[in-house]
Amino acid sequence: MPIVAEIFLAARGWGELGYHNSPLACDLHELWSWSAHRMSFEQMIGLVVRASSENGWAIYTFHGINEGHLPTSEFDLTGFLRFLKENEDKVWVAPVCEVAEYIVEARNRLGVCL
């Protein structure tokens, strides 16, 4: 999306469940993300473990908690957050923009141009 690239460092779209972003190859202006609604915390954890083991970047989209638009249950959100806290030495949790800045710097260091 050319207009998005002119204004923003990164932007998310929707992605196929189970396919994460590859930091060296992903389009920072059309990042894949997964809607967490109706997903159990076990499913969320499984996707993080898979992305992490493949050096990928997982982006989750959360909207309502227990109600509202595309809700995620408080139970599942709490279970997922507990896992992330218990594994903070293995899983980096950060806003999209912070991760995108890191990726741009890494690509520049490695001479990767997209």
* 3-state secondary structure (DSSP) of residue 72: strand
For residues 34 and 7, the answer to whether their CB atoms sit within 8 Å is no
pLDDT at 3: 84
Could you tell me the two tokens for 33? 């993300």
Q: Is the pLDDT of residue 114 over 70?
A: no
pLDDT at 19: 85
**pTM, full prediction:** 0.85
**pLDDT tens for residues 46-99?**
999 999 999 999 999 998 899 888 889 999 999 999 999 999 999 999 999 999
Q: Is the pLDDT of residue 113 over 80?
A: no
pLDDT at 86: 98
Ordered DSSP codes for 19-67: --B-TTT--TTSB--EE-TT--HHHHHHHHHHHHHTT-B--EE---BSS
Where are the domains positioned within the chain? Answer: 2-18+27-107
